[in-house]
Structure 1
Amino acid sequence: MQKQSPLFSFGNDTKIEDLGGGLKRQMLGFNEELMAVKVWFDKGAEGYVHKHRHSQVTYVVEGEFHFSINGEVHILKPGDSCLIPPYAEHGAICPTGGVLIDTFSPPREDFIEE
């Protein structure tokens, strides 16, 4: 696993990964302690309910997201954010299409290419 991304990332040059199901992901930067990722949701796309060992903070850049954390659901709009503790079940549905910035600590090893 890579230990660190380049110090500078340029949006037009950084790979965007198609995750399927109307989701795309772009790595913004990471080291051994922190990771930031941009995620695009098509209209109606769903981030399935899951959990992981990482602390996560998500910031809504654009769109409307129906976020569930441990069964509690709130509608988040641009400028809103949420904290997802380790091992909390969480997911989101995006009825409008939108963009999130996800941060993780420690980094999500499964997002880093070998």
Structure 2
Amino acid sequence: MTATMQNRSETFVQASDVPLETVGEGITRQILSYGPDLMLCRLWFEAGSVGDVHQHPHGQISYIESGRFLSFVNGEEQELDVGDSVIISPDTDHGISCIEAGSLLDIFNPVREDFLATGEDES
């Protein structure tokens, strides 16, 4: 399955079939399953890499699979470890810094069409 813009991904997505894309210095993303109202992405961060503070009109939940991160949401910061998560309301300033190399899952509502159209934006 490739991340070309269509209404939705295949019903079953094999991660080994999905390309990886560099979206920032030390940050790699894989767009997994998506439909009009929901999107799942996996991201890998090298230690010291930074997802700059930004905002978008999508709700977001991030789940830490491995590593350690410092999450910034609406002026607050919290260290996150394996198994931790953060919820981000639409149009809220947020960003993340990687303390120890790892990966996370980002879930968006609705789909991040900008990711599918260009593949250039960060989480």
Q: What is the aligned counterpart of 2:16 among 12, 29, 33? A: 12
Query: TM-score w.r.t. structure 2 length?
Result: 0.89
Any idea what the Cα deviations from partners look like across 1:50-84, whole Å, max 9, x if unmatched?
00000000000001000000010000000000000
Amino acid at match of 2:72: S
Q: Deviations along 1:26-60, whole A, 9 cap, x unmatched?
A: 01100001000000001111000000000000000
Structure 1 or 2: more helix by fraction = 2
Q: CA shift at 1:113, angstroms? A: 3.7
Residue 69 of structure 2 is aligned to residue 92 of structure 1: no
Given candidates 69, 85, 89, the residue that maps to 2:73 is: 69
Structure 1: gaps spanning 5 or more residues: none
**What is aligned with 2:106?**
102
Q: Please identify, of 15-24 and 50-59, the stretch whose mean Cα deviation from structure 2 is larger.
A: 15-24
Native 8 Å contact 1:2 1:113 kept in 2: no
Corresponding residue to 2:47 among 37, 43, 46: 43
Q: Write the distance in 1 (CA, Å) between the matches of 2:95 and 2:115.
A: 17
| Alpha-carbon distance in structure 2 between the residues aligned to 1:12 and 1:109 | 22
Q: CA RMSD in A?
A: 1.1
**Higher alpha-carbon deviation: 13-22 or 88-97:** 13-22
Instruction: Give me the whole-angstrom Cα distance separating, in 1, the residues matched to 2:29 and 2:36.
Output: 20
Q: What is the aligned residue count?
A: 114
Please name the residue that 2:85 is paired with.
81
List, as ranges, runs of 4+ consecutive aligned residues in structure 1 with deviation greater than 2 Å.
Answer: none
The alignment's TM-score, normalised by the length of structure 1, stands at: 0.96
